[in-house]
Amino acid sequence: MTDILMPKATAVWLVDNTSLTFDQIADFCGLHPLEVKGIADGEVARDIRGADPIANGQLSRQELDSAQSDAKYRMVAQKSRHAELLKPVKKSPRYTPVSRRQDRPDAIAWFLRNHPEVTDAQISRMLGTTKSTIDQVRSRNHWNAANIKPVDPVSLGLSTQMELDALVRKAADKRAKDNAKRGIEEPVGASLEPASVTGAVAPASEPDLDDGE
Give the tens place of pLDDT for each residue, 67-92.
999 999 999 988 755 555 555 555 55
In a shared domain, residues 110 and 184? yes
Q: Is residue 210 part of a domain?
A: no
Would you say residue 175 has pLDDT above 80? yes
Give the tens place of pLDDT for each residue, 108-137.
999 999 999 999 999 988 888 899 999 999
Distance CA 113, CA 106 (A): 11
Does 148 or 47 have the greater pLDDT score?
A: 148
Would you say residue 165 has pLDDT above 60? yes
Does 152 or 45 have the greater pLDDT score?
A: 152
Average pLDDT over residues 92-104: 60
In a shared domain, residues 66 and 115? no
In a shared domain, residues 26 and 80? yes
In a shared domain, residues 68 and 41? yes
Task: Answer with the one of 86, 114, 130 that is the final residue of a domain.
Answer: 86
Would you say residue 201 has pLDDT above 80? no
Mean residue pLDDT of the chain comes to: 79
In a shared domain, residues 53 and 123? no
Task: Answer with the one of 53, 86, 119 that is the final residue of a domain.
Answer: 86
In a shared domain, residues 67 and 139? no
Q: Is residue 127 part of a domain?
A: yes
What are the residues whose beta carbons fall under 8 Å from the beta carbon of 128, sequence distance 6 or more?
93, 94, 95, 96, 104, 158
Q: Is residue 1 part of a domain?
A: no
In a shared domain, residues 124 and 187? yes
In a shared domain, residues 117 and 162? yes
In the prediction, which pLDDT does 189 show? 43
Average pLDDT over residues 12-33: 93
In a shared domain, residues 70 and 102? no
Q: What is the sign, positive or negative, of the torsion defined by CA atoms of 134, 138, 162, 187?
A: positive
Q: Is residue 92 part of a domain?
A: no
In a shared domain, residues 117 and 54? no
Domain count, the chain: 2
Distance CA 211, CA 173 (A): 28
In the prediction, which pLDDT does 23 show? 95
Would you say residue 160 has pLDDT above 50? yes
Would you say residue 174 has pLDDT above 50? yes
In the prediction, which pLDDT does 56 show? 84
What distances in angstroms separate CA 24 from CA 1, 4, 12, 30, 68, one per listed residue?
13, 14, 13, 10, 9
In a shared domain, residues 178 and 138? yes
Would you say residue 202 has pLDDT above 70? no
Which of 8-12, 45-49, 96-100, 133-137 comes out lowest in average pLDDT? Answer: 96-100
Q: Which domain holds residue 67?
A: 7-86
Looking at the whole model, is its pTM more than 0.85? no
53 half-sphere exposure, CB direction, 13 A CA radius? 32
For a pLDDT cut of 90, what percent of the chain falls above it?
A: 39
Task: Answer with the one of 86, 115, 133 that is the final residue of a domain.
Answer: 86
Q: Is residue 204 part of a domain?
A: no
In a shared domain, residues 102 and 192? yes
